[in-house]
Amino acid sequence: EDQVTQSPEALRLQEGESSSLNCSYTVSGLRGLFWYRQDPGKGPEFLFTLYSAGEEKEKERLKATLTKKESFLHITAPKPEDSATYLCAVQGVETSGSRLTFGEGTQLTVNP
Amino acid sequence: KAGVTQTPRYLIKTRGQQVTLSCSPISGHRSVSWYQQTPGQGLQFLFEYFSETQRNKGNFPGRFSGRQFSNSRSEMNVSTLELGDSALYLCASSLLSGVKETQYFGPGTRLLVL
């Protein structure tokens, strides 16, 4: 069974204070790891997909990296508008269809 | 290109009633998945439909059911509502199923059961 654990549960940063969010996963074989951003009362917004260890992707102030056991979402010089819940999800090779297994998320607050 | 749309956005029901939620995927997408999101359980997979066939099912009771139409639009139904069914129900679509495809989520339907 695929499992995802995210840490920390909540993170408060000052504007400009860089940090990283962690996503540890257990799958028999990884088909893909996904990062989403979710604002209160809205659906998750797609950020990145990573497929193999060593892969990195960037978008504005965000950079996602992947190892064989975990993924990191690095936030460089965050702004208040980066405040949201960040969700990590995996698809294992033994998962049929498009089913995603999600972690509980990290609630990020960036203070001005 | 229009995103995933869900209707209604908000719904209030009482225990014992049934409810039907609708999802229109991104144009051209053939896979539709449904998830339930609650503060205590996070995002939990309900089921996936691809080409009008249920492809995968999560660990939910039989009161939760769904279907997909020939235009890829999907509906989910919850019968005999319980207080614990209060949640945000999210629909996600992808082009295909079972391959390296990204799922895109709709805004969700907020269901409150009284």
Which A positions 46-75 lie with beta carbon below 8 A of chain B? Answer: 46, 49, 51
Domain ranges of chain A: 3-111
Give the tens place of pLDDT for each residue, A14-71. 999 999 999 999 998 899 999 999 999 899 999 999 999 999 999 999 999 999 999 9
User: Which CATH number is correct for A3-111, 2.60.40.10, 2.30.30.830, 2.40.40.20, 2.170.150.70?
Assistant: 2.60.40.10
Q: Do B106 and A49 touch (CB under 8 A)?
A: no
Tokens matching residue A66: 């992947």
Q: Which two tokens stand for residue B73?
A: 């639009």
Q: Which residues pair with B108 in a beta bridge?
A: none
Q: Which of B91, B100, B85, B96 is nearest to B4 (CA)?
A: B91
CB contact under 8 A, B58 and A97: no
Asked whether A85 and A73 are in contact (CB, 8 A), the reply is no
Q: How many CA atoms lie within 13 A of B93 on its CB side?
A: 25
DSSP per residue over A41-79, as a string?
Answer: TS--EEEEEE-STT-EEEETTEEEEE-SSEEEEEE-S--
Identify the CA nearest to B50 among candidates B72, B75, B31.
B31
Tokens standing for A11? Answer: 């993170």
pLDDT tens for each residue of chain B, 114 residues long: 689 999 999 999 999 999 999 999 999 999 999 999 998 888 999 999 999 999 989 999 999 999 999 999 999 999 999 999 999 999 999 987 766 778 999 999 999 999
Q: Which of B42, B45, B90 sits opposite A99 (nearest CB)?
A: B45
